[in-house]
A = this chain, B = another copy of it.
Amino acid sequence: MSSHLALIILELVGIFVFAISGALTAIQKGFDAIGILILAEVTATGGGVIRDLIIGDTPPAAFRQVEYLLVPLAAAVVAFFAHPVMSRIHFTVLLFDAAGLGLFCVTGTLKALDFGLGPVQSAALGVTTGVGGGLLRDVIARETPALVQVDTDLYAIPAMIGAAAVTVAARLDAPMSVAAPAAAVFVFAFRVTAMVRHWTAPRAWTRRQATVK
């Protein structure tokens, strides 16, 4: 199997699991079948669409290759019928989501670098690719975005470090066929460890002194 094919398959797996997380959110909120489909599509493709609009690569990849729309449709159908099982395998879904996060923040950063953006901007867009779909999911579902909540185990921080590592590797002319997978694996491992150990980011500084928020 060529590495190019491997990348495409991994990306479609990432889209599938992000779509599952969107569909399960919709089901938890009691949305109808259309709501499940829409949340699956938006969660899976939202981050990449925002990235492509910003770098000016239109139409976005999600509207060029039909798989990007069909895979979330398949995920919505699976979740529609299998959601009671999936809630039980919640941790498995989160594992795949962590894999999607690692992959998307790395490929997003690489695409932005390819389009000539600077390292800081490319890393920012890589993170946006990884977390953008989930942010849109939470806004549409009227949930406080998991991304900003104090009790969410670290999510954006692994993505930031992974995206930054990719830009450093690019600057150092490191072989990307090694550096990119390594960064994706690092993001995945860091995110999973944060979940298991419930690592969270701090609130604003004076929290410790304040008795009541």
A residues near B, CB below 8 A?
26-27, 29-36, 38-39, 41, 49, 53-56, 58-60, 63-64, 66, 69-70, 79-81, 83-84, 115, 117-118, 120-121, 124-125, 135, 139-142, 144-145, 147-150, 152, 155-157, 200-206, 213
Contact = CB atoms under 8 A, between A and B. Distances in A.
B202 A33 contact: yes
A63 B148 contact: no
Overall SS of chain A's interface: helix
A34 B156 contact: yes
A147 B59 contact: no
- Copies, count: 3
Nearest to A31: B148
A126 to B, nearest CB: 12
B121 A59 contact: yes
Given A35-B148, A80-B205, A70 B26 contact: no
